[in-house]
């Protein structure tokens, strides 16, 4: 019968019209600034640096090995070593910048980091009023505590803590042996 | 609940009477020489005000309704429930830059929205909004309506041609072809009403429908020819007002914005408003011709212009529903629909109306039912057969698929 | 109603003048449409509702559109070179002659002056006239139009089915 | 009258065979044809070109006489970048090829590298790959149908329904990979992380509910007379032309050729699942649309089986190095049946950390090559519909 398909379509849209008032499966809109979706644990946005203890700069796990800088596909990480007065590089970054206007959130820096010092953040409200300077995050912007890491990625952070603890114990046990093998990359 | 509703309706009817009296009284206070002009000013002001606010309301309704049909919320940020959204849109439109392409024909480009808009507002003058509420009760009101509407074709062409844009040109061509083609079925569909009512005065047409079968109204739509005519009229009206699924002249996904591509700011707003006003005008005509105008839907309810606007808005909602559901047809299919389907069917409907008229003498019990069945079959069967034949000839059919392993 | 008469009269004249003097053909057609619409206004002023509305519907809604369409579909859409003075003069002479003849006829005719005595040209009246006294010419016209319509379809029909 | 002009123009296009200026000559210089055709440039700013894509269209009235696709507006140097970066470093870039289907892009690339380096994939990872790939197929096909209907002028209603369902799938993708669209989830030798707890149950629920949505969609589309009128007999692609032009995927199957890489190539673990390959008979837009609907139903079958069978175990081969990944010199071609069509990665290794040659077989581009053949003789309104039914993503066309 001619018109059957069209009438079916009308019924369908009417059903959706009514459904949008009572059926949460149909009305999936979240009104963003007021309502926010709970992010899944794995959710990632831009990297941050984990620090232990209370001092965000001194406690950084980062040893400035520059592996992430090298592996980063869009080359958005910039690291300069801290040096002591004689110019010998220290295991600490002097500059650690991430240009989040370039970063593509691929998480490769996290995967290649042997020291579990760089992790993915979940903060997504990062809009700025300027295109260049304000979108470059510096060391002090990037440093976030281990507690914060536990808050956003609890499962992953527990696993990381367990590994680090095991390593530390192993390290203490073999204190006599000076060689510290780079632990295998996680994940 | 029902009682309150009834009370409200009667209260409104009383108010309406009072309002009319008050208006008359107020006008009679003026010196006689001024009365005509004062009446004109009041009428024009009220009509423009009412339809402009109706326009604001229906843009909001459309966006909300479409949103809900698409499982979205629709505008809800400006004012409570987004009610002030049309105001915000208006401010936006008014403050936007008015861009005229360098190669455009400035004068024609400027005139096109006006030529579209002015005649459309004229056509509101002949619609009967309530008993004695006809701004301009012309003897040939229906003809006036179509005459006023015919200028919009010229406007679409002017807009398309003057923009000096190929998409605008295509849109303009489509608009003319479409409007001319669908004016035929539109006029012929309303002719059946003229034939039965014996008058072209819209007020008189509504008065003819003021009859009751027990408590149910005897509107034209409740006759076989009226039902078919109403359906055909609405389809033609959708095309005439460039509403989806016949919105080819704008054909957003194909030719960007059609003849409105190069319009911005206030001129675009006027086009936009013109589109809605066209929809109101043609819905108002449909209400007048087929749905009993200002007559109440049940005999014991008072007549009021509220009914007219309620019916008009109901039709507008149908338009919105259609827009939310159907994809657009193609230009050749549109022409086929107009000339090979709607036009012959409306012509046939004239004969069915005549048949209905001449079988009115069958007074025997069951005569009405027989009349109904006969007339309905006379229009419905050809409609279905022709539709089937068209589908067949193009080999349009649902398909069954085979599977490979 | 005097003022409206003069306004419409001015529109008729200005439109007609524009139709012959503007450079772009489309502008000419559009100003002709203005002129035709203003003529319809005159009909309405004379109380001939049906004729007035039919004038708008047919001339503005169809004839002007048709002209515009034809102009659009012809190849040369740019303004041509202006006519020479001599040809302007000839044209003006012909126009003046035609105007003179029509004006003479109109002045000589008594119908113009007794217009108010005529019965009102209502739709019903026209319909009764057409279906009564003039039924044969009307049927002939209808037949002619049908033939023309069929002819147009045949001409426009493609030689073989495309799609 | 119209068809004469069309034929003559087609004749010239056949004779010139891809010679760009051929039709310009016809349009501009032959005096009797002047003013007859209208040349319009659809895109790169056009609502229905699905991105920055341009079509140089020559119209006779509204009939398309000649159509020339113009690409390159979104060229991002993908292949050359990949030759300068590590093997792993290209993985996030593959997300951005066909940004609707990052999971399958990841898989195709991982497959190529695994072939190159001879890496095996743990059982559980194979299942996860199939599950995510089929979910990708579901969301891609649903959205494609929505977009096609949008091109037809259906005011976004089907598109919104499709997006509603797609959001649910993307939520699951985010839960597993951390990102909704740029998943970057597959790794050489498996997947990056194991599924989070509760994910499989969520997926089972989604898969159970999805057919309801498909029924709804079918009610909205399948028998709609306007839709049939708009799509049936439009943009017919013959099987011979499809095969010759290298067209793959649903578009090829709509022309009636039974060729599905899941069946033909036996990649992954598709041999273990029972599913059928729907085939069209007419090769028109309607077939292409309906085939995708049917494919979604088959995908649901696969998903149901996979979700039932999925074993526990590791998700990645622990032997595969993340840093200093240097496959032996050699070459490999990995291809999968992507949601759109055959997606292939060709890699040539010289033993260093980055590929010597990296080449994507961009199915969107290859399937676009037949666009002109599909569009000639159709109306301008059909062009956007045909383009929509081809289902391109410009990120992949231009790379």
Q: pLDDT by residue (tens digit) across A1-18?
A: 567 788 888 888 888 888
Is residue B78 less than 8 Å (CB to CB) from chain C?
no
A42 reaches D (C-beta below 8 A):
yes
Does the pTM surpass 0.80? The reply is yes
Banded model confidence at residue C117, pLDDT cuts 50, 70, 90: very low
| Closest of D291, D396, D387, D312 to residue D42, by C-alpha | D387
Contact B71 A1 (CB under 8 A): no
pLDDT tens-digit profile of C71-101? 777 655 455 555 567 777 888 899 899 989 9
Closest-CA distance of chain B to residue D161, Å: 7
Calculate mean pLDDT across residues B23-38.
Answer: 78
Residue C2: inside a domain, yes or no? Answer: yes
In-domain check, residue C117: no
Terminal Cα distance for chain B, rounded:
62
pLDDT in tens, B145-184: 888 888 788 888 888 888 888 888 888 888 888 888 888 8
Determine, yes or no, domain membership for C66.
yes
**Contact state of D2 with C75 under an 8 Å Cβ cutoff:** no
Site from D62, D151, D153, D159 to mutate, B interface, most B CB atoms within 10 angstroms: D153
Provide the CATH number for the domain around residue C62.
Answer: 1.20.120.1200
Q: Which CATH number fits domain A47-173: 3.20.20.70, 3.90.1170.50, 3.30.450.80, 3.30.70.3270?
A: 3.30.70.3270
Say what the pLDDT of residue B297 is: 81
**pLDDT in 10s for each residue of chain D, 399 residues:** 333 333 333 333 333 333 333 334 444 445 455 566 778 888 788 877 777 888 888 887 778 888 888 888 888 888 888 888 888 888 888 888 888 888 888 888 888 888 888 888 888 888 888 899 899 988 988 888 888 888 887 777 888 888 888 888 888 888 888 888 888 888 888 888 888 888 888 889 888 888 888 888 888 877 788 888 888 888 888 888 888 888 888 888 888 888 888 888 888 888 888 888 888 888 888 888 888 888 888 889 888 888 888 888 888 887 777 777 788 888 888 888 888 888 888 988 888 888 888 888 888 888 888 888 888 888 888 888 888 888 888 888 887
Same domain, residue pair C40 and C68: yes
Q: What is the pLDDT of residue C84?
A: 66
Tell me, what's the pLDDT at D45?
80
How many domains, chain C? 3
Residues C98 and C53 in one domain: no
Q: What are chain C's partners, defined as 3 or more CB pairs within 8 angstroms?
A: B, D
Q: How far is B332 from chain D (nearest CA, A)?
A: 9
Q: Which of B139, B146, B173 sits opposite C122 (nearest CB)?
A: B139
d(CA B128, CA B140): 13
**C10 and C59 assigned to the same domain:** yes
Same domain, C32 and C55: yes
| C158 occurs within a structural domain | yes
Query: Nearest chain B Cα to C28, which residue?
Result: B108
Q: Check pLDDT > 70 for residue B27.
A: yes
What are the pLDDT digits (tens) for A89-146? 878 888 888 888 888 888 888 888 888 888 888 888 888 888 888 888 888 888 888 8
Do residues C25 and C73 share a domain? yes
How far B339 CA sits from the closest chain A CA (Å)?
Answer: 18
Helix (H) / strand (E) element for D361: namely: strand D357-361
Sheet holding A136-137, edge to edge: A77-83, A89-99, A136-137
Asked if residue A123 lies in contact with residue A159, where contact means CB atoms within 8 angstroms, the answer is no
- Mean pLDDT value of segment B302-311: 81
Same domain, C64 and C132: no
Does pLDDT of B43 surpass 90? no
C-alpha B397/C-alpha D281 separation (Å) is: 13
Name every chain B residue with its beta carbon within 8 A of the beta carbon of A13. 69, 321, 324-325
Judgement on whether residues C137 and C108 belong to the same structural domain of the protein:
no
Distance CA B170, CA D28 (A): 20
Is C128 part of a structural domain of the chain? yes
The stretches of D25-122 forming alpha helices (DSSP H) are 78-84, 91-95, 102-117
> Both C61 and C7 in a single domain?
yes
Rg (CA), chain A: 24
Query: What are the phi and psi torsion angles at B133 (to 5°)?
Result: -110, 55
DSSP state of B98: -
Residue from A2, B321, B380 nearest D223 by CA: A2
What is the structure's pLDDT at B353?
87
Tell me: do C87 and C71 sit in the same domain: no
**B326 and A6: CB-CB below 8 Å?**
yes
Between C143 and B217, residue with greater pLDDT: C143
> What's the rounded Cα separation, in Å, for the pair B186 and B237?
7
Residue A128's pLDDT is 84
Domain C-terminal end among C80, C104, C131 = C80
pLDDT value at residue C130? 83
Question: Using an 8 Å Cβ cutoff, are D339 and D364 in contact?
Answer: no
Task: Please give the ipTM for the structure prediction.
Answer: 0.79
- Pick the more confident residue, D18 or A46: A46
Classify residue C129: in a domain, yes or no.
yes
Domain encompassing residue C155: 122-163
Indicate the domain borders of chain A.
47-173
Is pLDDT at C160 greater than 60 in this prediction? no
Give yes or no for residue B285 having a pLDDT over 80. yes
Share of chain C above pLDDT 70, in %: 80
Q: Are D92 and A73 in contact (CB under 8 A)?
A: yes
User: Same domain for C95 and C74?
Assistant: no
Least confident range from B236-240, B265-269, B300-304, D265-269: namely B300-304
């Amino acid at each position: 019968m001619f018109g059957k398909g069209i009438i079916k379509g009308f019924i369908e849209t009417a059903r959706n019209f009514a459904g949008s008032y009572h059926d949460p499966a149909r009305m999936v809109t979240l009104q963003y600034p007021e309502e926010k979706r709970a992010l899944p644990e794995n959710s990632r946005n831009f990297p941050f640096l984990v620090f232990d203890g209370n001092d965000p700069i001194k406690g950084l796990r980062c040893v400035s090995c520059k592996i992430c800088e090298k592996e980063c596909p869009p080359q958005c990480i910039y690291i300069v070593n801290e040096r002591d007065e004689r110019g010998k590089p220290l295991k600490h970054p002097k500059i650690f910048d991430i240009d989040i206007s370039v970063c593509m959130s691929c998480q490769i820096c996290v995967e290649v980091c042997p020291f579990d010092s760089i992790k993915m953040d979940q903060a997504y409200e990062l809009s700025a009023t300027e295109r260049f300077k304000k979108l470059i995050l510096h060391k002090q912007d990037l440093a976030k505590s281990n507690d914060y890491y536990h808050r956003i990625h609890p499962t992953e952070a527990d696993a990381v803590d367990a590994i680090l603890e095991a390593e530390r114990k192993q390290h203490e046990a073999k204190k006599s042996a000076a060689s510290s093998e780079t632990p295998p990359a996680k994940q | 609940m029902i009682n309150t509703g009834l009370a409200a309706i009667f209260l409104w009817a009383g108010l309406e009477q009072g309002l009319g009296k008050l208006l008359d009284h107020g006008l009679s206070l003026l010196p006689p020489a001024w009365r005509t002009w004062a009446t004109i000013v009041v009428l024009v002001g009220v009509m423009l005000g009412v339809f402009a606010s109706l326009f604001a309301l229906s843009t909001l309704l459309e966006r909300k309704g479409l949103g809900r049909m698409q499982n979205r919320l629709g505008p809800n940020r400006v004012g409570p429930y987004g009610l002030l959204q049309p105001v915000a849109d208006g401010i936006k439109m008014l403050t936007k830059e008015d861009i005229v392409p360098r190669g455009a024909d400035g004068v024609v480009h400027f005139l096109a929205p006006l030529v579209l808009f002015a005649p459309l507002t004229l056509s509101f003058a002949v619609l009967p909004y309530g008993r004695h509420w006809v701004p301009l009760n012309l003897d040939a009101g229906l003809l006036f309506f179509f005459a006023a509407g015919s200028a919009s074709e010229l406007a679409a062409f002017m807009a398309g041609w003057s923009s000096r844009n190929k998409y605008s040109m295509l849109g303009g061509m489509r608009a003319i072809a479409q409007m001319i083609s669908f004016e035929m079925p539109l006029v012929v569909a309303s002719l059946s009403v003229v034939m039965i009512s014996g008058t072209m005065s819209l007020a008189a047409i509504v008065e003819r429908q003021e009859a009751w079968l027990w408590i149910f109204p005897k509107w034209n739509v409740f006759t076989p020819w009226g039902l078919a005519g109403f359906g055909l009229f609405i389809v033609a009206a959708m095309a005439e007002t460039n509403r989806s699924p016949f919105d080819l002249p704008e054909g957003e996904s194909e030719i960007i914005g059609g003849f409105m591509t190069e319009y911005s700011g206030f001129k675009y707003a006027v086009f936009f408003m013109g589109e809605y006003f066209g929809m109101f005008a043609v819905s108002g005509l449909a209400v007048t011709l087929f749905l009993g105008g200002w007559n109440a839907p049940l005999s014991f309810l008072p007549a009021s212009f509220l009914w007219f606007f309620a019916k008009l808005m109901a039709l507008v909602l149908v338009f919105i529903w259609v827009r939310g559901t159907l994809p657009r047809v193609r230009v050749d299919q549109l022409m086929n629909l107009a000339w090979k389907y709607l036009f012959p069917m409306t012509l046939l409907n004239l004969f069915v109306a005549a048949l209905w008229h001449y079988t009115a003498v069958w007074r025997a019990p069951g005569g009405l039912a027989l009349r109904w069945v006969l007339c309905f079959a006379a229009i419905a069967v050809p409609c279905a057969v022709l539709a089937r034949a068209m589908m067949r000839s193009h080999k349009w059919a649902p398909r069954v698929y085979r599977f490979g392993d | 109603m005097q003022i409206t008469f003069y306004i419409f009269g001015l529109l008729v004249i200005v439109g007609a003048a524009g139709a012959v003097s503007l450079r772009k053909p489309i502008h000419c057609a559009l100003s002709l449409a203005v002129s035709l619409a203003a003529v319809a206004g005159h009909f309405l002023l004379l109380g001939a509702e049906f004729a007035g509305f039919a004038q708008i519907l047919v001339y503005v809604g169809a004839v002007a559109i048709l002209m515009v369409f034809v102009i659009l579909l012809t190849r040369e859409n740019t303004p041509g070179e202006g006519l020479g003075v001599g040809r302007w003069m000839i044209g003006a002479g012909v126009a003046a002659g035609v105007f003179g003849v029509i004006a003479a006829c109109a002045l000589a005719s008594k119908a113009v002056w007794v217009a108010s005595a005529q019965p009102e040209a209502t739709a019903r009246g026209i319909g009764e006239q057409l279906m009564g006294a003039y039924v044969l010419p009307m049927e002939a016209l209808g037949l002619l139009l049908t033939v023309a319509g069929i002819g147009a379809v045949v001409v426009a029909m493609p030689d073989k089915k495309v799609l | 009258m119209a068809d004469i002009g069309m034929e003559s123009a087609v004749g010239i296009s056949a004779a010139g065979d891809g010679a760009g200026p051929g039709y310009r000559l016809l349009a501009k210089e032959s005096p009797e044809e002047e003013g007859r055709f209208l040349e319009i440039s659809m895109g790169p700013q056009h609502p229905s070109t699905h991105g920055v894509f341009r079509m140089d269209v020559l119209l006779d009235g509204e009939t398309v006489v000649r159509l020339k696709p113009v690409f390159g507006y979104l060229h991002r140097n993908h292949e050359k970048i990949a030759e300068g970066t590590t093997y792993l470093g290209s993985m996030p870039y593959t997300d951005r090829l066909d940004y609707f289907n990052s999971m399958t892009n990841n898989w195709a690339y991982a497959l190529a590298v695994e072939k190159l380096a001879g890496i095996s994939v743990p059982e559980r990872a194979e299942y996860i790959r199939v599950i995510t790939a089929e979910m990708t197929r579901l969301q891609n096909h649903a959205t494609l149908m929505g977009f096609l209907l949008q091109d037809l002028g259906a005011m976004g209603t089907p598109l919104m329904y499709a997006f509603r369902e797609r959001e649910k799938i993307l939520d699951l993708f985010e839960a597993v990979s951390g990102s909704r669209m740029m998943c970057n989830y597959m790794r050489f030798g498996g997947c990056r992380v194991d599924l989070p707890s509760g994910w499989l149950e969520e997926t089972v629920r989604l898969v159970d509910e999805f057919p309801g949505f498909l029924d709804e969609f079918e009610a909205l589309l399948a028998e709609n007379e306007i839709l049939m009128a708009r799509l049936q007999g439009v943009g017919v692609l013959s099987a011979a032309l499809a095969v010759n032009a290298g067209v793959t995927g649903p578009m090829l199957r709509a022309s009636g050729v039974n060729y599905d890489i899941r069946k033909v190539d036996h990649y992954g673990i598709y041999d273990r699942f029972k599913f059928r390959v729907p085939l069209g008979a007419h090769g028109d837009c309607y077939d292409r649309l309906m085939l995708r609907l049917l494919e979604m139903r088959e995908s649901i079958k696969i998903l149901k089986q996979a979700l039932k069978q999925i074993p526990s175990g590791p998700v990645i081969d622990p032997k595969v190095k993340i840093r200093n990944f240097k496959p032996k010199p050699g070459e490999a071609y990995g291809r999968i049946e992507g949601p759109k069509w055959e997606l292939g990665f060709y890699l040539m290794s010289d033993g260093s950390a980055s590929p010597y040659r990296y080449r994507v077989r961009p199915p969107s581009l290859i399937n676009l090559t037949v666009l002109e053949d599909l569009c000639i003789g159709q109306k301008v309104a059909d062009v956007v519909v045909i383009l929509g039914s081809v289902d391109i993503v410009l990120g992949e066309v231009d790379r």
